[in-house]
Amino acid sequence: MNIILLGPPGAGKGTQAQKLVDSRNMIQLSTGDMLREAKTSGTEMGKMVAAVMDRGDLVTDEIVIGLIREKLEAGGATGGFIFDGFPRTLAQADALGDLLTEMGQTLDDVVELQVNDEVLVERILGRAAEAVAAGGTARADDNEESLKTRLMAYYKQTSPLIGYYYAKGQLQSVDGLDTMDGVASSISDVLS
């Protein structure tokens, strides 16, 4: 089973992906993690990624699809793959669909974590405050201004995917503001 987790920054995609990794033996494909891993891998693709990132340029869709292809070819996901942070645009969604078709695989579900933006901002700012109160440090981007910028980018680039996957009959929505276990249970219901 291959799935995409969709939702704005801070909606809990990473947390829920980890729960699926633990409970269903799925492999989480986080583009950020894959790029960092590739940069230090020494492979041809890794050298390309390193050169682009060292110049401070954005990694192209072709490179990201290449990294995803490598992960899919490597296999090992008896429970399937979770696409986390990809696709972000309609062009990337088309490229992922083409890649899966070419490899004889399918995209089984797209799970949207629905959230209320105001509650989401409160949640993330609360998370930052808790981290500081506990003697730690908050994530650098867990502040109101940065969060609003990230949300704007999400709505401009990524939210069109909701309509795209809805039209394909693949979109399932869950309440992303439920408890962590409540969201996990809702996702499990969708995938069953």
- Looking at the annotation, which residues are catalytic? 13, 88, 127, 139, 150
Backbone CA torsion sign across 184, 9, 168, 30: negative
CA dist 106 and 95 (Å) reads 13
Residue 158 DSSP class: I
Contact at 8 Å (CB) between 49 and 63? yes
Nearest to 44 by CA among 73, 25, 66: 66
Can you count the helices (H) and strands (E) in the chain? 9, 5
**Tokens 């994530």 sit on residue:** 139
Contact at 8 Å (CB) between 96 and 3? no
Q: Compute and round to an integer the Cα radius of gyration of the chain.
A: 17
- Collect all residues with Cβ–Cβ distance below 8 Å to 105 and sequence separation of at least 6: 2, 72
